[in-house]
Structure 1
Amino acid sequence: MTGLRTALERYLSMRKGFGYKYQHQARRLADFVSFMEERRATTITTKLAVAWATLPPDRHASWALRLTDVRGFARHVANIDLETEVPPVGILPPLKRAKPYVYSDAEINALLAAALALPPANGLRRWTYHCLFGLIAVTGMRLSEAIGLQRSDVDLDEGALTVRQSKFGKSRLVPLHRTTREALLSYAERRDVHLGSRCGPHFFVAERGGRLLHQYVHRVFWRLSREIGLRRPSDHTGPRVHDFRHRFAIRTLLRWYREGIDVEQQLPVLSTYLGHTCVRDTYWYLSACPELMEEAARRLDRRWEAKP
């Protein structure tokens, strides 16, 4: 085992010890170490880091992300090998986040209605997707969190969900509105009647009781979004399931602005609710939505006008 591979094991162990899942980063960094070993290179240099990060040449969108992984690893290794070069920030084009699509109420309603028309007419599938997409839209949960819910995580007596070990290894409680609680209660009753003794541990299940898989959920969403006109048949991009979460965050911030609530003070609350690791991730919504920027500008104007 090479020194870099040993250092990588220690680095990954440290990061995971801080609560990060680090699955994708671990895979990429293992590939980077293999890249270094193939070249018999024992010291990380900016030149080698960039050479690896810009592979494959036609996937520009991932270059900055790959280099960010190496930068963090290089900082760790630099404490052991003083000749290690830490790649500077800004030498590759930054990763651009997808612009959020903010669904209208009419689009949400149309999507949920289309889900109820999914075949088979007497099956559970249509109710599963109707309630799954509805829950994500009204709570801002991640798709992985929603399909990962266990039956024991859904307390319909208290009206709360327990999201366990989410994206950054943290757990949190998500309160439910009365109407959401009633919709989930109805779904749970239909599910149990439909499956009987075949019920598994997950709250949202496929037609035969198995766990929902990401790829199948996305396929159903793409089908429904084409049916209601959100995407054209030939479109490979467009509104996503994750945009339900963006809509929830943006609508919450807009409501706070319009009600005169101190958004700066409340941002940590929204950040915690959404399961962000830092408030910076929540601040991104302020710059990602023109309507939010307009509200922030109006509030700033009012403050200046109020000054003597």
Structure 2
Amino acid sequence: MTVGNEFGVIRQLCLHRRRRDPSSHVPEHALAPVKESVFLPYISSHDEVRRILTAARSHNGRFIWASMLHTLILMLYRTGSRLGEAVRLRRRDVDLDRGILTIGRSKGRSRIVAIRADLVAALRGYAAERQRLVSDRQRWDPEAFFVRRDGSPLTIVSTSTAIRRLLRRLDIKPPDGRIGPRPYEIRHAFAVHRLTAWAKDGVDIHARLPVLSAYLGPQNVIGTEVYLKATPQLLELASDRFEQHLRSACPPR
């Protein structure tokens, strides 16, 4: 099964190379058949992510308040967490002294996620505002780390709705229908941007997939390999590196 899935990634790269060089060889699918997903997530550009975060700072919803929404989206993009995982975070799951998040059991397992100092600072700022909001509302302090404007625990439905409206307002998502980017795909943007940065730095992407897989938390590395074919830029970087490898491995006669 592992060989089959690795073969699927290699075949995707060969298919991409054939667009530029029709003589490129593409292995037959039957050599190691795997069921390849036809789904390709929408990958927000760095500029779109910045626009989303900027717009979140001025959000003024009935239940969703600006600082909370901005911090939540920033955390989603910086950690690749699922929306549900972020919403379900409890105060004790967010250890800002050690810079780690404890993600509860999701998709079969729990995990500990290390976070950078800039995200720690953002979460500290939100935590202080959260405490003031709960105190001002004279409510008991809920276990939930992310709370709504009235001090009650955040819900996945209200958060997803707020992010979708944000995407529509920025014309990143069409005004009607279910097509276009979804809140869940902020996670995909994190993964592809991380892989692309590694590729630009000359890192062996395939060797790093298990690291990314452990950080994102899918059942296995196979669930992460979809990101290898998510953007033309990433495929182009992989293709160029493969071509350079071939040239260095085959000296001119």
The yes-or-no answer on 1:145 pairing with 2:91 is no
The match for 1:279 is 221
Tell me what 2:46 maps to.
105
Cα RMSD over matched residues?
1.9
**For 1:262 and 1:268, how far apart are their aligned partners in 2?**
12
1:47-62 to structure 2, matched below 5 A, reads: none
Is 1:291 matched up with 2:226? no
* Equivalence for 2:112: 173
Alpha-carbon displacement from aligned partner over 1:173-231 (angstroms, at most 9, x marks no partner)? 11111111111001000010111253200101112222222221111111111111112
* Structure with greater Cα Rg: 1
Q: How many corresponding residue pairs? A: 213
TM-superposed deviation, 1:261: 1.2
Summarize the alignment of residues 65-104 of structure 1 with structure 2, pairs less than 5 Å apart. 96-104=37-45
Query: After superposition, what is the alpha-carbon deviation per residue over 1:247-289, rounded to whole angstroms, capped at 9, x for unaligned?
Result: 1111111111111112222111111111011111111111232
Amino acid at match of 1:116: R
8 Å CA contact 1:124–1:190 kept in 2: the answer is no
Q: Indicate whether 1:232 and 2:171 are aligned.
A: no
Q: How has the CA–CA distance of structure 1 residues 287 and 119 changed in structure 2, closer, same or farther, with 3 Å as cutoff?
A: closer
Q: Which has the higher contact order (CA 8 A, sep 6+)?
A: 2
* 2:103 aligned with 1:163: yes
Query: What amino acid maps onto 1:118 in structure 2?
Result: H
Does structure 1 conserve the Cα–Cα contact (< 8 Å) formed by 2:43 and 2:230?
Answer: no
Show structure 1 runs of 5+ residues with no match: 1-93
SS in structure 2 of the partner of residue 164 of structure 1: strand
Q: Secondary structure at the match of 1:198?
A: coil
The answer as to whether partners of 2:64 and 2:162 remain within 8 angstroms in 1 is no
Gapped runs of 5+ residues in structure 2? 1-34
| In 2: Cα distance, 1:230 partner to 1:245 partner | 16
- Scaled by the length of structure 2, what TM-score is found? 0.78
Match of 2:148 in 1: 206
Contact 2:64 2:158 in 1 (8 A): no
Tell me the secondary structure at the aligned position of residue 128 of structure 1. helix
- Cα distance, 1:124–1:186 mapped onto 2, change above 3 Å: farther
| Letter of the 2:53 counterpart | L
- Work out the CA distance in 2 between the residues paired with 1:270 and 1:146: 18
Distance 2:240 2:36 in 1: 30
1:9 equivalent in structure 2:
none
Q: Does 1:254 find its partner at 2:196?
A: yes
Q: Deviations over 1:109-136 (max 9, x none)?
A: 2212222222269x87211111111110
TM-score (norm 1): 0.65
Q: Structure 1 stretch 98-107 or stretch 157-166: which is displaced more?
A: 98-107
- Structure 1 residue 162: Cα displacement: 0.7
Question: 1:124 touches 1:194 (CA, 8 Å); kept in 2?
Answer: no
Q: Of 193, 205, 215, which residue of structure 1 is paired with 2:132?
A: 193
Displacement after TM superposition at 1:236 (Å): 2.8
| Partner residue in 2 for 1:119 | 60
Deviations 1:7-41 (A, max 9, x none): xxxxxxxxxxxxxxxxxxxxxxxxxxxxxxxxxxx
Question: Structure 2: how far apart are the matches of 1:284 and 1:102?
Answer: 12
Residue 182 of structure 1: aligned partner: 121
Which residue among 63, 70, 82 is the counterpart of 1:130? 70
One-letter amino acid matched to 1:221: I
